[in-house]
Amino acid sequence: MAVTIIVEPNPGGHRFQYVRHVASLAAKSTDVVLLTSRGAEASAEYDTFLRGLPIEVHEVFDEPLPATAAIAAKVADLCRGEAAPTVVVMDGDQLVKRWWLEAPRAFRGLPSRPEVILLLTRLPARLTFADRIGWLHKLSKTALSLLAFATRSAHRVLYIAGRDDLATGFLLRRVRDPAICSAHARDRDALRRRLDLPSDRRLVGILGGINGRKNYPLVAAAVCRTATDVDLLLAGSPTPDVQAWLDDLPAGQRERVIVRTGFLSDNDLDGYVAACDVVAIAHENNAPSGIMGKAVAAGVPVLTAGSTVRAHECAALGAGVHTAMTEDGLAGGIRQLLGGDVARARRRGRMSLPTAEEFAEVILTGAPTKQAAPS
Tell me if residue 19 falls in helix, strand or coil: helix
Tens-place pLDDT, residues 328-347: 999 999 999 998 866 544 44
The predicted structure's pLDDT at residue 173: 93
Question: Does the structure show a pLDDT above 60 at 88?
Answer: yes
304-326: average pLDDT = 92
The predicted structure's pLDDT at residue 368: 57
Q: How far, in Å, are 7, 39, 43, 118, 329 from residue 61 at the CA level? A: 10, 10, 15, 19, 44
Backbone angles phi, psi at 108, to 5 degrees: -60, 130
User: For residue 374, what pLDDT band results from cuts at 50, 70 and 90?
Assistant: very low
DSSP-H helix ranges across 50-187: 68-79, 96-107, 132-150
User: For residue 349, what pLDDT band results from cuts at 50, 70 and 90?
Assistant: very low
Question: Does the structure show a pLDDT above 90 at 71?
Answer: yes
The predicted structure's pLDDT at residue 351: 67
280-288: average pLDDT = 89
202-222: average pLDDT = 94
34-58: average pLDDT = 95
| Residues near 74 by beta carbon (within 8 Å), at least 6 away in sequence | 35, 58, 60, 61
User: For residue 198, what pLDDT band results from cuts at 50, 70 and 90?
Assistant: very high
Question: What is the C-alpha separation between 41 and 85, in angstroms, rounded?
Answer: 23
- In terms of Cα–Cα distance, which of 293, 303, 290, 352 is closest to 330? 303
Tell me if residue 24 falls in helix, strand or coil: helix
Q: In terms of pLDDT, which residue wins out, 334 or 366?
A: 334
Residue 365 CB: number of other CB atoms within 10 A? 11
The predicted structure's pLDDT at residue 82: 63
Q: Percent of the chain, pLDDT > 70?
A: 94
162-182: b (≥16 Cβ within 10 Å) or e: bbbbbeebeebbbbbbbbbbe
Tens-place pLDDT, residues 120-176: 998 888 888 888 888 898 999 999 999 999 999 999 999 999 898 888 888 899 999
Question: Does the structure show a pLDDT above 90 at 284?
Answer: no
Backbone angles phi, psi at 171, to 5 degrees: -70, -45
Question: What is the C-alpha separation between 86 and 30, in angstroms, rounded?
Answer: 10
User: For residue 350, what pLDDT band results from cuts at 50, 70 and 90?
Assistant: low
The predicted structure's pLDDT at residue 62: 95
Biggest CA pair distance of the chain:
68
Question: What is the C-alpha separation between 12 and 257, in angstroms, rounded?
Answer: 25
27-51: average pLDDT = 95
The predicted structure's pLDDT at residue 14: 85
The predicted structure's pLDDT at residue 373: 42
208-215: average pLDDT = 90
Question: Does the structure show a pLDDT above 70 at 370?
Answer: no
Backbone angles phi, psi at 47, to 5 degrees: -60, -40
20-31: average pLDDT = 96
Dihedral of the alpha carbons of 207, 212, 214, 218, in degrees to the nearest 10: 110
Q: In terms of pLDDT, which residue wins out, 82 or 241?
A: 241
Q: What is the mean pLDDT of the chain?
A: 91
| Residues near 165 by beta carbon (within 8 Å), at least 6 away in sequence | 125, 126, 174, 176, 309, 312, 313
User: For residue 372, what pLDDT band results from cuts at 50, 70 and 90?
Assistant: very low
